[in-house]
Structure 1
């Protein structure tokens, strides 16, 4: 019996690889209804490509709900196991590819790109039903039997590149700490002009010394317990702290003056790398807690530290096998060494981490 029930959407018709496809603006409220995600109904090989990471959904949903006047979503891409009938809007040649598509309601829809967005839309609609009248673009591909679906999933994700954290921070005007990081690199003399703002790693020949993501993370470590301060006060404190740090690390000043190249410093010293920046931030948090009025005077001890990469005490702390390691454990171990240099007491957790580190060193020597 022929299906008497259809979905009807206004659409634009296009051609790719000699095959028709259609782009339509679909109301948000129908997205969860037509794009069901029932894993039991999917073939195993298709299901395996579309396992939802459910931990991502609340984050994406909150983004929509909290930014109802500014959120941006790219198109969903779907395969349709069913016939799609296209009717031009009129007989005029200019309307040949503008019109309406009709899809049987018993057709099966598989999202090739955007399943997390679909799930997030469903969650957001429960909090803000009025979003149901807004639209998202959907690209429909006819795929009878869903034979092309697996390859389409692979092709659509083949060349996708995740934005670097530094670039995300550079362009993010919603996150107040991203804005703070940008202000810090502008106001801290040694960071200004020496910070890579697009990449989260620095090439060997780069003339940059720091990364925006490294400064951002280190500042979060510095301000971890400063929630009692408003954002403006936190920003001022961070700028003051990093300016004071730079006064006590002579090699940074040499690069700023052009007397030493950034590439040479990063090759020979550890203190411009993200692991040490974060450790300096963690140590600074304790320093300011213990000495709220004269913490600057204590930073003079940084001048006598041997920051050279060949200093054996950095192995296992900032370095693993001679290579920089940015793990949280290495940040903690590096912060412990800095806190000792500044005459600060270690926390219980840091004492445990230090004992474990010493034990591992002894095992390595045995």
Structure 2
């Protein structure tokens, strides 16, 4: 193969299922030039995976640009339809799989895994062209006619399991709200003992009271900011004060901490053991901070006087749980529950809140 009419990469050669594959380091500036989008313009017979979700690209692009000194990407996986040639650098048996991969310039490249990263890299290079000489590892499979591309995509994703949002929060050392959430969990004894740090939902028999993502979502709702936003000192103070006050104002939580009742039993008899409850509480606290900045914590302490039990259908049926007693956590039920809590602690409702609450009887919760 003429090196003047080919792409040439230092490469490692491997073998899976009796077929060779190659791992190369590819400059970022080359990624948009050689890889086809697996999009509508690619004929269906060559389309190897789902259509690009363009809404995901800006977030990944911002990640590259904002963390240009600290970003991390896993390998792209691609198929090559064209002539290739691998030339070992040496004949030594231990190094025979280290060499140069030459790929004909007229070859077709198709990404099997990593199309959103590819699109984000292209957008990031428009903003920061200096990133072009940095590299990303690419795993190449030789696939003449691109007949195996769809199967490669299927095989790569068959056993893939997304990490839970709780794990994402636990391992995130960049997002300020994640850091603050973990700090609060570590500092407050009840949360430290009874927070599930990995799973996003609690099983019926879980010994934990809340999941880390429940606490994080409540914090986002409290300060009304998105993931990745910068926090002010006031934000941090309000979040810490909210949790300290709340943990001292829920009698059922004190019973759990004192081992008078198990988290399992609490979930069965009370809405106070649900993620819906703490997000509704955060919604209430946010309103209180806006309307009564000097006395908002005093209103939170009134939570002690509220009957959170599921048997209290007057307050929670059609709001926190449906006709069958099932709790459904969504923005609609969270808002309905927050509105009811406001009434119970003596906060005057707006006309909009009154109308919203009155509509619940005609809605399916």
> Is the structural similarity TM-score above 0.5?
yes
Match of 1:332 in 2: 335
SS in 2 for 1:50: coil
Q: CA deviation at 1:297?
A: 2.8
Match of 2:288 in 1: 287
Q: CA deviation at 1:360?
A: 3.5
Alignment pair present for 1:80 and 2:83: no
Q: CA deviation at 1:71?
A: 0.4
Q: CA deviation at 1:221?
A: 1.6
Match of 2:34 in 1: 34
Q: CA deviation at 1:83?
A: 2.5
Match of 2:262 in 1: 261
Q: CA deviation at 1:295?
A: 2.6
Match of 1:162 in 2: 162
Query: Aligned to 2:316, which of 314, 317, 320?
Result: 314
Equivalence map 1:149-188=2 (5 Å) = 149-188=149-188
Q: CA deviation at 1:46?
A: 4.2
Alignment pair present for 1:201 and 2:204: no
2:101 and 2:345 map into 1 onto residues whose CA distance is 70
Cα RMSD over matched residues?
2.2
More displaced stretch, 123-132 vs 185-194: 185-194
Q: CA deviation at 1:355?
A: 3.0
CA contact (8 A) 1:77 1:140 kept: yes
Q: CA deviation at 1:150?
A: 0.6
Equivalence map 1:1-366=2 (5 Å) = 5-37=5-37, 39=39, 42-47=42-47, 49-224=49-224, 231-312=232-313, 313-320=315-322, 321-347=324-350, 349-360=352-363
CA contact (8 A) 2:271 2:308 kept: yes
Figure out how many residues of one structure are paired with residues of the other and give that number.
Answer: 359
1:41 and 1:217 map into 2 onto residues whose CA distance is 39
Q: 1:253 to 1:346 in 2, by over 3 A?
A: same
SS in 2 for 1:49: coil
2:87 and 2:211 map into 1 onto residues whose CA distance is 53
1:322 and 1:272 map into 2 onto residues whose CA distance is 14
Provide TM-score, normalisation by structure 2.
0.92
Where in structure 2 are there 5+ consecutive unaligned residues? none
CA contact (8 A) 2:26 2:135 kept: yes
Q: CA deviation at 1:314?
A: 1.8
Q: 1:40 to 1:262 in 2, by over 3 A?
A: closer
1:301 and 1:110 map into 2 onto residues whose CA distance is 61
SS in 1 for 2:31: helix
More displaced stretch, 296-305 vs 321-330: 296-305
2:109 and 2:272 map into 1 onto residues whose CA distance is 53
1:88 and 1:263 map into 2 onto residues whose CA distance is 62
CA contact (8 A) 2:48 2:150 kept: no
More displaced stretch, 197-206 vs 328-337: 197-206
CA contact (8 A) 2:64 2:71 kept: yes
Where in structure 1 are there 5+ consecutive unaligned residues? none
CA contact (8 A) 2:46 2:147 kept: no
SS in 1 for 2:308: coil
CA contact (8 A) 2:196 2:209 kept: yes
Q: CA deviation at 1:141?
A: 0.2
